[in-house]
Amino acid sequence: MTRLENPSVSIQDLSLNFGAISVLETLNIDVAEGEFIVLLGPSGCGKSTLLNCIAGLLDVSDGRIFIKGKNVTWEEPKDRGIGMVFQSYALYPQMTVEKNLSFGLRVAGIPRDEIAKRIARAAEILQIEPLLQRKPSALSGGQRQRVAIGRALVRDVDVFLFDEPLSNLDAKLRAELRVEIKLLHSKLQNTMIYVTHDQIEAMTLADRIAVMKGGVIQQLDAPQTIYNRPVNRFVAGFLGSPAMNFLDGRLEKDDGNWHFVAEEVRIPLATYAFEKEPAPGAAVFGIRPEHVAFNSGSGWPFTTTANVVVVEPMGSDTLVWLKLANQNFTVRVTSERTPNNADTVSIGFDPMRASLFDAATGNRL
């Protein structure tokens, strides 16, 4: 794993066990100054746990945590220079918005006029000035989350931690606040670590995404790289909606060219960039539904015909379910070209856009 020169946050060999259960295993990650990093993964993958370790809300079993070059492994949360935003907002219900924002500052004994100044600035950035004298119960979900972000903002910290901040909001509000968080980041240029299970949030917000599973980071890379060149089958299947197509089959070499073979389907792999020279054997061929051309004639390295099983109209486009080599295969089609059930259609794609995985290990070939 490559280490950064002057990381804002640096996690070194972090492990966490609850009794015999290991939640995080010798985890390493460096976050650059001003970087927006997203921890993405399914429920129970340890992403929130990792965030709580960084915040100092959980004691680690092993390893070290550096923030701004300072070893904070044993520090209290307040001394780590972090601000945190929670999924349930966690606003103090008995305090007004203003008191909520100022609570941490009052605890720290910061002078009154300084507190007023910081609250005014945060309220302006987040546009919550008219709400300052309200109680949290009189706010909508989006307003509450804005106040929760404001609470982190007033503390003037180096690192922002977000723990699934948008999960409690409805879809429309989630999209709006997503953009606002992105704007906030470009305005503040703070380091932000953001936990989510929503791949859209991860793709749109992140400078880099860390895809996690079972307490281990599977892949840490820019969103486009993760999307286009997933390192293993888990990452490939977790990102993308509708999900990537997977065909089970075999890798074969004839006439010096590699082919992927599943029953009657033979896909030539001349354009595919192998990680290293492969060996013949069982493999999984993955390609995203939007990378498959539909009824567009020849000119593709691979074309074939298949029967339509189900058609799912989704408004902007349509998902067509086919049977290919007796396995499910989906193609994304613009709404105007929607076929009927049981039609026979032709499809084509370039294996360059595909991903090949080892059938046993699931690693990219």
Partner 1 sequence: MADLAVPLPAGTGSIGLEASGPRGPKPRHVFSRRNIFLYGTLIVVALYYLLPLYVMVVTSLKGMPEIRLGNIFSPPLEITFEPWVKAWSSACTGLNCDGLSRGFWNSVRITVPSVVLSIAIASVNGYALANWRFKGADTFFVILIVGAFIPYQVMIYPIVIILREIGLYGSLSGLVIVHSIFGMPILTLLFRNYFTSMPEELFRAARVDGAGFWGIYFRIMLPMSLPIFVVAIILQVTGIWNDFLFGVVYTRPDTYPMTVQLNNIVNSVQGVKEYNVNMAATILTGLVPLVVYFVSGKLFVRGIAAGAVKG
Binding site for partner 1 (CB under 8 A): 52, 55, 57, 76-78, 82-84, 86-88, 90-94, 103-104, 107-108, 151, 155
The answer to whether 193 and 161 are in contact (CB under 8 A) is yes
Closest CB 44 distance from partner 1, rounded Å? 17
Q: What contacts 24+ positions apart, CB below 8 Å, involve 255-264?
A: 260/285, 260/351, 260/356, 262/324, 262/325, 262/327, 263/325, 263/326, 264/325
Q: How far is the CB of 104 from partner 1 (least distance, A)?
A: 3
Tell me the closest approach of the beta carbon of residue 63 to partner 1, in angstroms.
21
Specify the residue, 164 or 221, whose C-beta has the smaller distance to partner 1: 164
> Helix (H, G, I), strand (E, B), or coil: what is residue 262?
strand
In the bound state with partner 1, the residue whose beta carbon lies nearer, of 37 and 55, is 55
Rank residues 59 and 263 by Cβ distance to partner 1 and give the closer one: 59
Output 39 or 157, the one with its CB closest to partner 1.
157
C-alpha distances out from residue 36 to 29, 162, 180, 189, Å: 13, 11, 14, 9
Nearer to partner 1, 146 or 259 (CB): 146
CB of 336 to partner 1, least distance (A): 34
Smallest separation (angstroms) from partner 1 to the CB of 214 = 24
Nearer to partner 1, 84 or 128 (CB): 84
Task: Please give the torsion angle defined by the CA atoms of residues 110, 113, 118 and 124, in that order, rounded to the nearest 10 degrees.
Answer: 160
Closest approach of partner 1 to the CB of residue 99, in Å? 10
Q: Report d(CA 39, CA 231) in Å as an integer.
A: 16
Beta strand 344-349 pairing with 327-334: unpaired
Closest distance to partner 1 from the beta carbon of 122 (Å): 14
- DSSP secondary structure letter of residue 145: H
Q: In this structure, what token pair is assigned to residue 85?
A: 């935003």
| 36-45 burial: b if 16+ Cβ within 10 Å, else e | bbbbbbeeeb
Q: How far apart are CA 194 and CA 205, in angstroms?
A: 9
**211 in Cβ contact with 238 (< 8 Å):** yes
Structure tokens at 223: 């969103």
| Residue closer to partner 1 (CB basis): 58 or 216 | 58
39: β partners? 195, 210
CB of 108 to partner 1, least distance (A): 5
Compare residues 89 and 294 and give the one whose CB is closer to partner 1. 89
Which amino acid would we find at residue 105? Answer: L
Give the list of residues 6+ apart from residue 181 with CB closer than 8 angstroms, or none: 149, 162, 165, 194, 205
With respect to partner 1, which residue has the nearer C-beta, 77 or 214?
A: 77
**Beta-strand pair 9-18/21-31:** antiparallel
Residue 48 Cβ vs partner 1, minimum distance, rounded to whole Å: 11
